Amino acid sequence: MAADITDIKAIIYTDKTFSLQEHGVYTVKTSKRVTKNSLKEVFKKYFDVTPVRVNSLNQGGKVKKFRGREGKQPDFKKFYVWVPEGTTIKGLEV
C-alpha cells in the first residue's frame, strides 16, 4: 500500500509536541491505513527528509456528550517521526 501526502490529516501542535520538535521529532495525525514504511516514503518524497525512526500509535476516539446525546469522535493513527539531527522541515514548524 502506497501512502500519499493526502493521508496526513494534520500536524499535531501541543505543548508536548513543540518541545519534541526542538529535538527533531514531528507528530503527525494520519488515516488508520498508513504504515510506518509508507509514511517514511511520504517524508522522503514530499519533504526530502529520510526519517531516522518512526513510532506509531492507534488513538481511540473520545466519547463526548453534545446536547445530552452521547457520541464518539473518530479513531485515528498518530506517528512520531524522528528526523536527522540538525534537519528541519519547512512548512511543518510553527
Mean pLDDT taken over the chain = 90
Residue 15: its pLDDT value, please?
93
- Residue with the bigger pLDDT between 88 and 63: it is 63
Residue 93 has pLDDT above 80, yes or no: no
All structural domains of the chain with their residue ranges: 5-82
Percent of the residues in the chain that have a pLDDT greater than 70, as a whole number: 97
Residues 6+ apart with CB under 8 A from 52: 82, 83, 84
Residue whose C-alpha cell reads 466519547 in the numeric block:
63
Ramachandran sector of residue 6 (left: φ over 0; alpha: ψ -120 to 50; beta: rest): alpha
Q: Does domain 5-82 have CATH number 3.40.640.10?
A: no
Residue 1 confidence (pLDDT) above 70: no
37's CB contacts (< 8 A; 6+ apart) are: none
SS3 22: coil
As a whole number of angstroms, the distance between CA 73 and CA 34 comes to 19
The pLDDT of residue 94: 67
Q: What are the pLDDT digits (tens) for 43-82? A: 999 989 999 999 999 999 999 999 999 999 999 999 999 9
